[in-house]
Amino acid sequence: MAMFQLVYVSSVASGRTIDVREILAVSRRNNRIAGLTGMLYADSRRFLQVLEGDERDVMATFERIKADPRHRAVVVLSRREIAEREFGAWEMAHAEPGHDADALLARVDALASGASAAVRATFAGFVEARRAA
Ligand SMILES: Cc1cc2nc3c(=O)[nH]c(=O)nc-3n(C[C@H](O)[C@H](O)[C@H](O)COP(=O)(O)O)c2cc1C
């Protein structure tokens, strides 16, 4: 069955301290029910998330996520059909600053290579800010 993958970046809403564990707990519960999997990178300022699953479920969940006041400036880096899950079977894996984040960014870099100049600039800014952090 064809599957869908969506990747976005966003910024933590200003003045907020985010409890990533709480986001992960709710995400895993909901995503299990919807058959969604993926990966969430979070540091004190930014998020990067990969969502994979049935297109309708991915988009319904993404609409909810986009409206979440805990972040802003949501920019989609990539959205495409995939033959199979590319980021593992986790309901929502957690990538943290450090090695796993570098590996994640390298993979997302390849995915975002076909995006518009504006989107690629957003992603480049994300990578830069992460290196400086
Ligand atoms: C960066 C970020 C990533 C999120 N990822 C997911 C997700 O993968 N799945 C999900 O159901 N909710 C996710 N959420 C939470 C949703 O915005 C929303 O709060 C939640 O789905 C509501 O669930 P509930 O109606 O069961 O309380 C995320 C929120 C943020 C800020």
Task: Give DSSP secondary structure letters for 69-125.
Answer: TTEEEEEEEEEEEESS-SS-S-SSEEE-TTHHHHHHHHHHHHHGGGS-HHHHHHHHH
Domains contained in the chain, number = 1
State the Cα–Cα distance between residues 95 and 83, nearest whole angstrom: 23
Banded pLDDT at 74 (limits 50, 70, 90): very high
Residue of 14, 16, 27, 46 best suited for mutating to test ligand 1, as the one with most atoms within 8 Å of CB: 27
Q: Whose CA is closest to atom 19 on ligand 1? A: 68
Q: What separation in Å is there between the alpha carbon of 26 and the centre of ligand 1?
A: 6
Residue 82 forms beta bridges with which residues?
3
Name the residue at shortest CA distance from atom 23 of ligand 1. Answer: 26
| Contact indicator for 91, 40 with CB cutoff of 8 Å | no
Domain of 110, CATH number, reads: 3.30.70.100
Domain that holds residue 98: 3-132
Task: Kindly state if the Cβ of 50 falls inside 6 Å of ligand 1.
Answer: no
| H-run or E-run covering 37 | strand 37-42
Q: What is the pLDDT of residues 10-67, one digit of tens each?
A: 999 999 889 999 999 999 999 999 999 999 999 989 999 999 999 999 999 999 999 9
Cα distances from 113 to residues 13, 59, 74, 123, 127, in angstroms, run 27, 22, 18, 10, 14
Pocket test for ligand 1, best of 6, 41, 64 (most atoms within 8 A of CB): 64
**Inter-CA distances, 61 with 35, 44, 132, Å:** 11, 23, 31
Residue 100 pLDDT level (bands cut at 50, 70, 90): confident
Put residue 98 in one of left, alpha, beta given phi > 0 → left and psi -120 to 50 → alpha: left
The pLDDT, as a whole number, for residue 1 is 67
Mean pLDDT (whole number) for 72-94: 93
Q: How far apart are CA 86 and CA 37, in angstroms?
A: 10
